[in-house]
Amino acid sequence: MIDIKVLGPGCANCSKLEQITRQAVSEIGLEADIIKITDYAEIMSYPIVSTPGLVINGEVVCSGRVPTQAEVTTWLVDTVA
């Protein structure tokens, strides 16, 4: 079970990131727990300068931009491997 967190207060980019992550997860058929974190104080506890941020198993893999689905897939596969 992979633990994924999408950090973002609810902007256009944050919802896009969540959508892309869900698609990547379902396309490679992983079991993952995707949580969206919108609370600003909690977002700030991660070492990112700007949202959106993507955290896989406690590690920030990307922040400040929306990655492509292909990139998210790569990170997920790397985590599993």
Partner 1 sequence: MAESVSSYLSTLLWSGWTSLLDYLAAHVLLCLVPAFVIAGYVSAMIPKEVITRYLGPRAPRWISYPAASIGGFILAVCSCTILPLFASIWKRGAGLGVAITFLFVGPAVNILAIAYTGAAIGMDIALARIALSIAFGILIGLIMARLFRKDEAIRMAELADSGIFDQKAVVKPAVWVVFILLVATLIVGTLQVSILTTTWINFHLPVEIPSAVLGSLDNLQLTPQGAVLILLLVILAPVAYLGFEGVLERINRWTYAAISLAGLTLLLAAPSVTEGSLLIGITGRFIGELLLLLAIGAVVSTSFTHDELASWLWETWKFVKQIFPLLILGVFLAGVFKAIIPQSWIENLTGQNTILANLIGVLFGVFMYFPTLVEVPIARMFLDLGMNRGPLLAYLIADPALSIQSILVTGKILGRRKTFTYVSLVIVFATLAGYLFGLTLAAI
Residue 80 Cβ vs partner 1, minimum distance, rounded to whole Å: 20
Residue 77 binding partner 1, by CB under 8 A: no
Which of 28, 33, 34, 40 lies at the binding interface for partner 1 (CB under 8 A)?
40
Give the separation between CA 67 and CA 70, rounded to whole angstroms: 8
- Sole residue written with tokens 């491997």: 81
| 11 is a catalytic site residue | yes
Residue 77 Cβ vs partner 1, minimum distance, rounded to whole Å: 15
Helix (H) or strand (E) holding 63: strand 59-63
Residue 65 binding partner 1, by CB under 8 A: yes
Give the separation between CA 70 and CA 44, rounded to whole angstroms: 27
For residues 30 and 80, the answer to whether their CB atoms sit within 8 Å is yes
Residue 51 binding partner 1, by CB under 8 A: yes
| 62 is a catalytic site residue | no
Helix/strand number for the chain, H first, E second = 3, 4
Catalytic residues: 11, 14
User: Which residues of the chain form contacts with partner 1 (CB under 8 A)?
Assistant: 9, 12-13, 16, 20, 23, 40, 44, 47, 49-51, 64-71
